[in-house]
Structure 1
Amino acid sequence: MSAASCLLTEDQFLCSICLDVFTDPVTIPCGHNFCKTCITQHWNVNVQSQCPNCKEVFNTRPELQVNTFISEMAAQFRQSAQHKASSTSSEQQAAKPGEVPCDVCTGTKLKALKSCLVCLDSYCETHLEPHLTRSGLKRHQLIDPVENLEDRMCMKHDKLLELFCKTDQMCVCMLCTVLYHKNHDVVPLKEEYEGKKAELGKTDAEIQQMIHKRRLKIQEIKHSVELSEEDADREISDGVQVFTALKESIERRMNELLDTIKEKQRKTEKQAEGFIKELEQEISELKKRSTEVEQLSCSEDHLHLLQSFRTLNATPPTKNWTGVRVSPPSYEGTVVRAVNQLEETLSKQMKKLFEVELKRVQQSAVDVTLDPDTAHPYLILSVDGKQVKLGDVKKNLPDNPERFDTCPIVLAKQSFSSGRFYYEVQVKEKTKWDLGVVRESINRKGSITMSPQKGYWTIMLRNENEYEACDDPAVLLSLKSQPEKVGVFVDYEEGLVSFHDVDTAAFIYSFTGCCFTEKLYPYFCPCNNDGGKKSAPLIISPVSHTE
């Protein structure tokens, strides 16, 4: 019996009604087997006595007798299956908290592998087997295990939620479409699923694109940090080099000053020592003569006194010290000359620094052209938008909001709201001019007050050699030479606007600590022509990097 049962498959011991191993199996006239209770209930529900499998109709309900042979085989199979299940369960994992348990397992609930949307149950590996092998169960829809399968049933009609109402944006059953969602746009759940899945795919693509952009931004920020570190290292190196040179120069000048003063003092001391030595020698001679005179004056020998008197009475030869002086050395101007020399060294170092700084800001050069829509009607712009001067005739131009109507001003077409930018303007042969940058929202009509508070960061030339920074308050500038080409540099994030004499690499002025929140535009004002004597234009020049 055991050997024979091993040749039978699991399907042969399952009731096709309850899908479980036979309990009290009976054989009906057509030869098919069922659980006695299952077939009895089936015939009680249906008027006709019909075989559920082959559909054969019996005019008279058959008498049902338990098939002892099949019953014994089923019992043995059940025992074997239970043993197999118990041994398999030890290999399979029990469901952990948060995992979906098998609904069929008794005792220890094993982890479910799949859930059936038809049976509304979840199955472990062992209990899932019928759904994978039996033709009738293979048609059931299996999904990854989920809890609360009853939530997939319509609470009103106890039917599977298999449709989606687009009108009300909710899942419904077949009866819902007839009773509550009539004339609504209803589609199969799978169709809506595919649509929503496509939308999710699009959303995910957008998210991935956002992630990609942010990763690029991270790379950009890291690169900026690397550049900042390089700039910092270079600035530290330059600073250490300059200050080391200054320190060495200061120490050298100080040592030279001390040596000069000490040398003068040594010469004075040496001169004084010579005078003192001569005086001491004369004193010694005079003391000696004094002793001889004293001895002679005490002599009782008349002849000896008279013979020696002529020699001893005369004063020994000495130097006339009346005009001899030891004057302290003059140190007038010694320290001043040393400081002047140090100042020359400092000037040379500063010039080197300015040259380095100019090279650095020139790396941020941009192409700038004048915007005719902002130009005052008296201004004349070149065709290429690189030159501007004041004309004698007012042009008939539309008074658009961007145009200046009182002051002879023009802005550039280009605006900047981040990063760094630099441009150069030739001011040669001009006796008056204004240059700088302005924010977008400045007042362009009527009189204008130029200051950072009003949105202007500019410098100007007045009366040939009077330079002024339009700060608050205004700052008069003392320049060693008249610039012929002015460089304008802006670091938006740093809040810096600086001006440079390009030809001499000299620094002119800086606005620092600025807070920029709007677009910035390069600003140009050629001013008046002094009666036509100084009608040279302002010229935006191409940047030639200094060597």
Structure 2
Amino acid sequence: MAQSASALEEELSCPVCLHLFRDPVSLTCQHSFCRGCLEKTWRQKPGRECPVCRRKSSLRHGVPNLKLRNIVEAYGQDKGVHRHAGRSGACEEHRVEARLFCEDCEGLVCTSCLNSEKHSQHTQHPVDEAIAMYKDKLLSQLQALHKKRDTLNQEQAASSNTAEHIRSQAQRVSRQIKAEFEMLHRFLREEERARLAALKEEEERKAMLVGKRVDQIMSQIVSLTETISGIEHMTETGDSSFLEVYKSIKERVQSIQLDPGPVSGALIDVAKHLGSLRFRIWEKMLEVVQYAPVTLDVNSAHPDLQISDSLWEVRDSRASLLLPDNAERFDSSVGVLGAEALTAGLHQWDVEVGDKTAWILGVARETISRKGAVSVSPEDGLWAVGLAKGEEYSVGTAPWGTPLTLKRKPRRIRVQLDYEKGKVSFFDPLDMMHIYTFKETFTERLFPYFSPGLNNNGKNSGPLKICPVNVSVTVGSSR
């Protein structure tokens, strides 16, 4: 009877995994397999051959064998769940009820497994205890996944905000570009009108001058015509009366004087209007166009800072703007960098500090930390001087800075970088009073650094202003 049961169980077992069928499917050759076993076999060995007879199957998947599935389920119910191989709660090796969980194999085992060499050095736990323990582990992992999802949601929201900020930036910059070009167009239109008006005025003035000359000539022509007619009439007289008037006629003819020829300077002075016209317009434009050796990088500015449209002024607005937390932006120290990197050569710029009670100015290396507090010291990549409390000047040196004593309170500060010589110097440009000089060896790109200080209830609300210069001052000069 046992042999009969064993033979029946063999008939109800998958020829691939040798366990009772799970979700059995059949091929056209009438061989049956677990659906999972067949799919796994075909994935490992493409060609859709029957694992038993090797006949090629025309089916992409096996046909579900409902009758065989019902027979297997009935057999399992008759023999008990613990005899149903592959079901939950059964030991895969001995196909009996599993009461333990092997931590090393991460699978269910029965008491018989404890005596096997495979599990002799493994750690086992009762199923109920393992369920509770691994549920806790899974819940912990689940919490980590929740945190990761929350982080991704935050990043998605931040990326959406950044995209919106990019659109807003582009629109604002577009308006400013158009405004700048409109100013230039307006200048050129006004200059064109002025020069056309000057040409028109010269045309009318010289046309009037030539008109007067024409009138004078016409008057002389009339007078000469009358004189000629009188002389011709007298020459026709043949008696002595001609001799009586000859002397007076001769004197009259000799007294006639013609005005000089063509009027000098009567033509339009073409060279005055067209000579080097483009250069002269450009030269005049230089009188109204300003240039700053440094402009501010809005993408590095702390959210509390307000940058002017010209990119020459910065102040603490006391209110954080909704800006992307991009990698370049300072998020703790209220500072902003210049827009262009400084490398080889001599660079200098003036900053108007006015009556401000706090500020920091200097040069920072590109890799200065933008997140968290910035230490004002060369060790952390910032060479700077500053003012605090309206009267305390200091040099940024580790750990607390070095006090400075100045003979007067400068209203402007000149920052000078000599990259090759490794010097960062500060002066009062009023008389080039020397304030301080750092000496260093530079190996990476540097950027101007500006901090307007905190707006202390309006006591330090003024901006730091980069001093622009008239472009004509720099024409032909070299830095």
**RCO comparison, higher one (Cα < 8 Å, 6+):** 2
> What is the TM-score when the length of structure 2 is the normalising length?
0.48
Larger radius of gyration: 1
